[in-house]
Structure 1
Amino acid sequence: MRKRDLPHIIVPIDPRPEPFQVVGGGGNDDDRNPVVNPNEHGKRLSRELKEALEAASPNGEIEREGTYITFESFPGLELALKSLDPRSRGEHPELVAVRKVTSTEGEIFEATVYIPDGQKEYFVKKLNQYVETSTGDKRKNANLIEGINRIGRATVRELWTDPDEEFPDADDVAHWWELWLRNKDGKEHERLESFAERNGLKTSANYLGFGNRTVVLIRATVEQLTTAFETLDDIAELRRPHEIPTALSALAPYEQKEWLDDLFHRTTYADEFTPTVCILDRGVDSSHPLLAPALKKGALHSASQEWKHDPVRSPHGTEMAGLALFGDLQTLFRTLHPVILKHQLESVKLLPDANDDEHEPDVYG
């Protein structure tokens, strides 16, 4: 145990009592309230909400029964999220995504809410109540309304909940995305599959269920995702695939190849004069497309001439080689950056295949 030879911290003054004060609630905190004219503020937001709810979708195959609306906070203030997501029985507005954006004026919060057609009056009513009481001392719904700076119709960008800088720049380049679908009637995955088939898009063979969300992978451009968002009611969040190594195993072989090809074309392999990482294991599969360029001629060895290096029956050495060469594949698959390798590989088959006879102790040496 580390020697404790430091003096105690002594507070040389006597304590004194202070009266308890309730912490302010954001929108009702007059010192931070950015609303100068409550009446005008409420009327402006009412107009913005009306325009957002009435905006017609340009897509011709609409299957939606509601509207996605984004509420934007004032810089440095948070939104009253509980009021944006009432969670009442039956059909009700649903908060689907919240993201934080850094602007020149400070941090801004954007909350996107799905409003069913039969619940459009929910926020209209709250705004009307605020405007009607705006000239008095107690303004109704002030905690909600006075935290909102802008209301607008949502786009796929507002559903992006990963870091803002990771959103793809090009609208016409296909990527794999992680779609979080709202569980409404159990047919959300079926509707997405139908849309993907009509539009020539690829989706993962399997999907995951998390309570009120279904997670599925889809390969599409930003433009194609925008079309899906304008067509379907089901999209709640949009992310980069976060668990790619696990999700890849659930994809069909030809889909896995697309991921590997993408990483291969972004990778610059090290030349023969760079350091080598030697894998002491049961052998490395030299035919693997991501490993082959890093295994130079004469890089495969065996402790016994009787052991065949290819084909490799145990995957462990190959998996260790991939880890030694690329590190965290999850990070590499999540980004589109070039990968520059500074070392190559070598394999020594130190142990026989797992189902071979037990090896002799002299192999250790």
Structure 2
Amino acid sequence: MRNLRNIKIVQVRESYPFTPVTGGGGERKIPPRDSRYNHADYLQKQFEISWKSGEEENKKVASISNRNGIYLEFRGKKEYELVTKSLENVSQNVRLCNVKEIEGTKHATVFVPSNKKEFFLEKINGYKEKESNKDVIESIESINIAVVDALWTDKRKIPIDKLEGCEVWLSVYKKETHKEIANEFFQLCDKLEIGYSSGYIKFPERVVVAIKGNRKILTKLLLNSAHIAEFRKTSTPSSFYIEDNDRIEQKGWIEDLLNRVTFNRESNISICLLDKGISNGHPLIKPVLEDKDMHTTFNDGIVQDISGDGHGTGMAGIATYFNLEELLDGNDYLEINHKLESVRIIDDRIVNDSKLYGAITSEAISLVEITNPDEKRIIAMAITAGFDMDADEKDKTKFKGDGKPTSWSGAIDNLALGNYGVEESFPRLIIISAGNTSESEIENAGDYEVAVALHSVEDPAQSWNALTIGAYTEKAFLSGDNSIDNFKPLVEPGSYSPFNSSSLMWSDKWPVKPDIVLEGGNIGYYEESRDIKYSLFDHLSLLTANNKYHRGDYFTTMAMTSPATAQAANMAAKIVESYPDIWPETIRALMVHSAEWTGSMIRQVFKDKKIEEVSKTEKRQLLRLVGYGVPNLDKALYSARNSVNLVVEDEIQPFKKKESSVTINEMSLHEIPWPKDVLIGLGETPVKMRVTLSYFIDPSPGEIGWEDKYRYPGCRLYFDVNNTNEDKEKFLLRINKKMRDEEYNKTKTTRDTSGRWFLGVNNRNVGSIHSDIWEDTAANLAENRFLAVYPGGGWWKERVGLGKYNSKVRYSLIVSLSTPDQSIDLYTPIMNIVTRISNKRAIDTKVKYKNNEINRK
């Protein structure tokens, strides 16, 4: 029985100077050149031709342009590297704008000031005469004047004639400020009579603005601005479908439920829903949502849910009650200790394709934080930018997301970290829906598993710091014979929902999404004459509040990842209720740590294989379909005698500046209070250890490549645990090169090579939340009490000029130890160790204080 509080470990960690043990990485793949003289002459000629073309362009717009430079596109050779790092020199204002790969060929766009023409000519001549700059020059296949296509980094096509919403990413360097560059750009737009939105989003060395544009307008901007880094299309949120419903209620049901609910009016815990507004006159919503807590980002001042589908009100019903159907059917009494806040950020009647949804999201959060600055707030949003018909005209079966950061997802990462709109770090928990696979996609794919695999998690749910929610379902019952009009439920209970989205098609450098899955409903199917028809049914959806309640329709149903997101927000609020001082990083960690894959999910992916027969690739497939599975609130909130959750909240300074360079600074070593003697005594008893690491990254989005100084996160963190028969000293030697002397040459890798982790480092070490499971005998796990947290690379280290090298990263660790035998008590011996350590610390503190007093006398 889970009724024991999780154990918070407040102990002094050990810190060690750290140098990672790298695998070497291999040599660069540079194309061979038959003659450096011929190659240098060829590139010099191309450079001169391109430069002359650029100068002619500048003359044509000299009366209005202050560009004073030329955009050049450098291309590598197919299947070879392009050494982009050496194409930039910030001190000379030579700026690398973007890096992209097209069909195996690397492309880099560089802005070169008019007075810095010699920067590249000297590199080429140095290569020709002295073979200096060899790697960078030999990696270049061609140099051309950059046109709009070189700056366009979106998979969607450039608007040809029709004016469409476009993002313009502007470079910000040296002593320039984001505001100055944005205002300078707006003035240019006024001069060129280009429509724009006055908001902007800030990132390191980038500011993003939105315009109404097409190819002609983008070309005009490129000719007149020296700050263009890239162009993209703006994100347009997709509509959400909720089936209209017959009247299925009596007002008495609501009155009965409200008579059994106690609402805590003094609570400072809130769920803030960024949606279409909420109808707070609904009797189920009224007790938790006051008028003063309703806001809008629109100028019309409307805060109520006036949408046709009632999406915001439906979200409110589930965020408040979690499972309304179960509560209405039961007779239990309950307390609700959180309230709601609402910001209307979307209106189906208005297409905001010329606005930045990152800026809108930031504005929305600011509205509630200004009104209620002291709330312990969970932010939930089930608004995503989904299927784009322009993504691929020949293939309508999938949304073409690829996991890369966008201005919207980057803004979410900033907001979660606390780097947005506040003077000091104020981290936030932001929960986002993964987006939905549609009925038409299932029909076109011919199989829902194929459709879900192909449908990418939608923007901005690829955010590293957000908790992204997918959908599974337990709803697999339609009627007495489990059919209605010959329709039957498509998936069995416990399966991932047909509406789920996945990150299966993403590169492994991008995070696992969704992180977890909750109830998203099922779909009915009917096979007739080889044609399969699909339909939504109330029975297979979640019951919730209806914004049309004033007509007497108090209830409606919702399906897909939206209600799953509302349920996740409800769970998070309950965790805050039990642990009011908990960090957002820790709430996310507990929810992921408590999650498990259902038997149906395992059968869906692993088929009939035994666990030991499953490959790491198949485990990756499971992970990128449903994340870490279905969270369990009891497991997140409580421990049991035989299943103990240990919680650590700490921080680390990953880097330090030494003279003119920045190096990796430290690693943390935690000695977990491990019941060694108890575990040894249990011998062959099966025991499971699970570790979850959660932290928030500092984002730097933009198409400048993943390698070198332009990595997306400010820094990365990883965890490792000592192996069986590996003591503290050997463990430190294995993972920390700094600990070794010259004679030590046995360790070959920093990674755990025991093979006992279920997912393994390659599957878990992506994104900013890592979780893995080690199952073994109690005796084998008896010594595994040393847990290291250590940093990896990031732009904090490489982009020295931004001064982030002394920054610290907060992190949360959840370590659990459990055994299926409920008669075994692990909790008590662990608590005894924690108490003993705490008492010793208190004594040491008193002695230290007393000695200080004596010294002062």
Same fold (TM over 0.5): yes
> Would you say 1:221 and 2:221 are equivalent positions?
no
Task: Give CA-to-partner distance per residue, 1:146-170, whole Å, 9 cap, x none.
Answer: 111100111121112233xx223x5
Corresponding residue number in structure 2 for 1:100:
101
Determine if contact 1:300/1:348 at 8 Å carries over to the other structure.
no
In 2, Cα distance between equivalents of 1:122 and 1:37 = 22
Pairing 1:331–2:386 present = yes
> What SS does the aligned partner of 2:102 have?
strand
How big is each residue's C-alpha offset from its partner over 1:274-324, in whole Å with a ceiling of 9 and x where there is no partner?
xx7357xxxxxxxxxxxxxxxxxxx6786439x9xxx9446497225899x
Stretch moving more, 117-126 or 70-79: 117-126
Q: CA deviation at 1:180?
A: 0.8
| Mapped partners of 1:22, 1:189: distance in 2 | 40
2:198 is equivalent to residue 188 of structure 1: no
Report whether the alignment pairs 1:304 with 2:270: no
Pick aligned residue for 1:44 from 42, 45, 60: 42
Q: How does 1:267-282 map to 2 (within 5 A)?
A: 277=243
Distance 2:128 2:69 in 1: 25
* Partner amino acid, structure 2, of 1:175: E
Residue 311 of structure 2 is matched in structure 1 by 319
Alignment partner, residue 468 of structure 2? none
Residue matched to 2:121: 124
Partner residue in 2 for 1:230: 223
2:61 aligned counterpart, secondary structure: coil
Which structure 2 residues correspond to residues 77-92 of structure 1 after superposition, within 5 A?
77-87=80-90, 90-92=91-93
Partner of 2:61: 59
Distance 1:206 1:221 in 2: 20
In structure 2, the CA distance between the partners of 1:348 and 1:157, relative to structure 1 (3 Å rule), is: closer
**What residue identity is the alignment partner of 2:129?**
E
Shift of 1:196: 2.1
Corresponding residue SS for 1:330? coil
**Consecutive unaligned residues in structure 2, runs of 5 or more:** 1-22, 255-277, 281-303, 316-347, 349-381, 397-437, 441-533, 556-857
Q: Percent identity?
A: 22
Q: Which amino acid aligns with 1:37?
A: S
Q: Which residue of 2 aligns with 1:162?
A: 154
Establish whether residue 145 from structure 1 lines up as the match of residue 137 from structure 2: yes
Please list the CA deviations of residues 71-94 of structure 1 after superposition, one character each: whole Å capped at 9, or x if unmatched.
10011111111111234xx33311
1:201 Cα deviation from its structure 2 partner = 2.5
Q: How many Å separate the matches in 2 of 1:348 and 1:21?
A: 52
Alpha-carbon distance in structure 1 between the residues aligned to 2:202 and 2:224: 22
CA contact (8 A) 1:34 1:74 kept: no
State which of 172, 191, 198 in structure 1 corresponds to 2:161. 172
* Structure 1 residues 350 and 236: alpha-carbon distance in aligned structure 2, compared to 1, 3 A threshold: closer
Distance 2:542 2:34 in 1: 74
Give the superposition deviation at 1:48. Answer: 1.0
Deviation at 1:183, TM superposition (A): 1.4
Instruction: Return the offset for 1:344.
Output: 8.2
Give CA-to-partner distance per residue, 1:47-69, whole Å, 9 cap, x none.
11122222211435221021111
Q: Which has the larger displacement, 59-68 or 214-223?
A: 59-68
Deviation at 1:333, TM superposition (A): 6.0
| Structure 1 segment 197-208 matched on structure 2, within 5 A | 197-208=190-201
Q: In 2, Cα distance between the equivalents of 1:124 and 1:21?
A: 33
CA gap of 1:302–1:231, structure 2 versus 1, over 3 A, is farther
C-alpha distance in structure 2 between counterparts of 1:352 and 1:278, whole Å: 10
User: 2:218 & 2:151 partners in 1: Cα distance?
Assistant: 11
Please report how far the alpha carbon of residue 172 of structure 1 lies from its aligned counterpart in structure 2 after TM superposition: 1.2
* CA spacing shift, 1:217–1:343, aligned 2, 3 Å: farther
Q: CA deviation at 1:229?
A: 0.6
Aligned equivalents of 1:301, 1:140: Cα separation in 2 = 79
Match of 1:207, SS state, is strand
Counterpart of 1:272 in structure 2 is none
1:37 deviates by 2.2
- Determine the C-alpha separation between the residues in 2 that align with 1:36 and 1:351: 72
- 1:114 paired residue among 99, 111, 119: 111
Report the equivalent of 1:11.
none
SS at match of 1:39: helix
Q: Distance in 2 between matches of 1:300 and 1:222?
A: 51
The amino acid that maps onto 1:330 is A
* Equivalent position amino acid for 1:59 in 2: V
Deviations 1:214-249 (A, max 9, x none): 01111111111111111111111112225x44xxxx
Which 5+ residue runs of structure 1 have no aligned equivalent? 1-19, 28-32, 134-138, 246-262, 270-275, 280-298, 357-362
Counterpart residue type for residue 101 of structure 1 = I
| Cα offset, 1:39, TM superposition | 0.7
Output the CA distance in 2 between the equivalents of 1:47 and 1:76.
24
The residue identity in structure 2 corresponding to 1:44 is: Y
User: SS at the partner of 1:146?
Assistant: helix
* CA gap 1:302/1:76 in 2 versus in 1, 3 angstroms: same
- Is contact 1:52-1:69 (8 Å) kept? yes
Could you say what secondary structure the match of 1:71 adopts?
strand
The one-letter code sitting in structure 2 at the alignment partner of 1:92 is N
Secondary structure of the residue aligned to 1:219 is strand
Distance 1:328 1:143, change over 3 A: same
Distance, in Å, in 2 between the alignment partners of 1:40 and 1:192 is 42
Structure 2 vs 1, CA of residues 162 and 348 (structure 1 numbering), >3 Å: closer, same or farther?
A: closer
1:143–1:333 distance in 2 versus 1, CA, 3 Å: same
Relative to structure 1, the CA distance from residue 351 to residue 144 in structure 2 (aligned partners, 3 Å threshold; closer, same or farther) is closer
Equivalent position SS for 2:167: strand
- For normalisation by structure 1, the TM-score amounts to 0.61
Which one-letter code corresponds to 1:97 in the other structure? N
Q: For 2:35, give the aligned amino acid.
A: N
| Amino acid of the structure 2 residue aligned with 1:304 | K
RMSD of the TM alignment (CA)? Answer: 4.2
Work out the CA distance in 1 between the residues paired with 2:537 and 2:194.
37
* Aligned pair partner of 2:232 in 231, 239, 244: 239
**Match of 1:205, SS?**
strand
Structure 2: distance between partners of 1:81 and 1:350: 53
- Secondary structure at the residue paired with 2:217? helix
